[in-house]
Amino acid sequence: MLKVTEQELALLESLARAQGISKQAVLMRAVLTGGSDAAARYERLREDLSVTRLMLANVANNVNQLAHQANSFAVAGGTPVNAEDVARALRDVRVVLARVDAVATGSGVDDAR
């Protein structure tokens, strides 16, 4: 059993709502990560990694499409992949890598978007 004041309970409930988790989960994260600020940063990091994963999946899909087009062209004379297509894919990969670096180092996450 944990005793808290009404103000502390209100703060706990607010944090739980903001993070979309139970009050118990807020407390456990705070204990395991070093406090409520650290728990909030942890949630932000999870969100950033989720967005980055989606970006990476999109880039992987684009690269896969380019490879498919290149293979089709080589076999059946399909639409060739040109240098602009490859350059665009490379730019996308660099954007995602910058975001991964920013998330991994915890600096400039918003700048890498």
Residues 14 and 61 in one domain: no
Whether 112 has a pLDDT exceeding 50, the answer reads: no
Q: pTM higher than 0.75, yes or no?
A: no
Give Rg (Cα) of the chain.
22
- Structural domain of 28: 1-33
CA separation for the pair 7, 52 (Å, rounded): 36
Task: Quote the pLDDT of residue 60.
Answer: 84
For residue 102, being part of any structural domain is answered with yes
Task: Quote the pLDDT of residue 43.
Answer: 76
Q: Catalogue the long-range contacts made by 27-32 (C-beta closer than 8 Å, 24 or more residues apart).
A: 27/2
CA separation for the pair 106, 62 (Å, rounded): 27
What tens digit of pLDDT does each residue of 81-106 get?
677 877 888 888 888 888 887 877 76
Task: Quote the pLDDT of residue 6.
Answer: 92
Residues 96 and 76 in one domain: yes
Task: Quote the pLDDT of residue 98.
Answer: 84
For residue 23, being part of any structural domain is answered with yes
Residues 29 and 52 in one domain: no
CA separation for the pair 107, 104 (Å, rounded): 8
Task: Quote the pLDDT of residue 111.
Answer: 46
Residues 15 and 64 in one domain: no
- Domain total in the chain: 2
Residues 50 and 20 in one domain: no
What tens digit of pLDDT does each residue of 10-62 get?
988 998 898 888 998 888 877 777 776 776 777 788 788 888 888 888 888 88
What tens digit of pLDDT does each residue of 58-79 get?
888 888 888 877 777 666 666 6
Note the residue count of the chain: 113
Residues 56 and 76 in one domain: yes
